């Protein structure tokens, strides 16, 4: 796990290597892996932070709620990252997430507002619609 964390966070490594670490952590599907993935929000790369949010949305692990909410709350964060965090919170679908998302339905950024609407719809749909639900077919690989 430590090796994957170092690979994930080392911005001097090729992006392919960092993505490989990201997906290896995702495939572990553990609380610890989710917490390591959330550290990826410190990256200087906007697209990488967006992908971290997407992967956390796939995992749908409640341990990531706090990190996802913190990113949505950061008004200086890139709107694409905030939008993906909002959708990940919708995939989690807890009452805490839905209450939080409702507060951002009037966000100044259109993509965040609309993502909160979609996230609330995802949350309300239950089993009818599963956000990025492909992990049941994934097996863990090592980096």
Mean pLDDT of 73-93: 95
Q: Taking the alpha carbons of 5, 15, 79, 112 in that order, is the dihedral positive or negative?
A: negative
pLDDT in tens, 89-131: 999 989 999 999 999 999 999 999 999 999 898 877 765 555 4
Q: Is the pLDDT of residue 140 over 50?
A: no
Record the tokens describing residue 48, joined without a space: 């990488």
Residue 139 has pLDDT above 70, yes or no: no
- Residue 6 neighbours by CB under 8 Å, 6+ apart: none
Angle at 87 between CA 10 and CA 58, to 5 degrees: 60
pLDDT at 8: 98
CA atoms within 13 A on the CB side of 65: 15
Q: Where are the alpha helices (DSSP H) in 29-143?
A: 31-38, 46-59, 65-73, 79-92, 95-102, 110-125
Specify the pLDDT at position 126. 62
Residue 142's Cβ-count burial label (10 Å; 0-12, 13-18, 19+) is exposed
**Model confidence pLDDT, tens digit, residues 28-76:** 999 999 999 999 999 999 999 999 999 999 999 999 999 999 999 999 9
Higher pLDDT pick, 140 / 89: 89
- Predicted confidence at residue 142, as pLDDT, reads 47
> Which pTM does this prediction carry?
0.87
Which pLDDT score, from 0 to 100, does residue 127 have? 56
pLDDT at 6 over 50: yes
Which of helix, strand or coil describes residue 101? helix
* pLDDT for residue 143: 47
Residue 56 CA to residue 35 CA, distance in Å, equals 10
Alpha carbons 97 and 141: distance in angstroms, whole number: 31
């Amino acid at each position: 796990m430590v090796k994957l964390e170092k690979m994930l966070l080392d911005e001097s490594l090729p992006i392919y290597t960092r993505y490989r670490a990201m997906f290896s952590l995702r495939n572990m599907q553990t609380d610890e892996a989710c917490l390591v993935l959330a550290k990826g929000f410190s990256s200087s790369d906007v697209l990488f932070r967006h992908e971290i949010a997407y992967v956390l949305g796939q995992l749908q692990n409640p341990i990531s709620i706090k990190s996802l909410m913190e990113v949505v709350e950061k008004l200086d964060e890139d709107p694409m990252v905030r939008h993906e965090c909002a959708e990940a919170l919708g995939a989690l679908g807890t009452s805490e997430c839905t209450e939080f998302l409702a507060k951002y339905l009037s966000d100044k950024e259109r993509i965040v507002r609309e993502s909160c609407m979609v996230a609330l719809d995802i949350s309300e749909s239950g089993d009818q619609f599963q956000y990025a639900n492909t992990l049941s077919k994934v097996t863990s690989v090592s980096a």
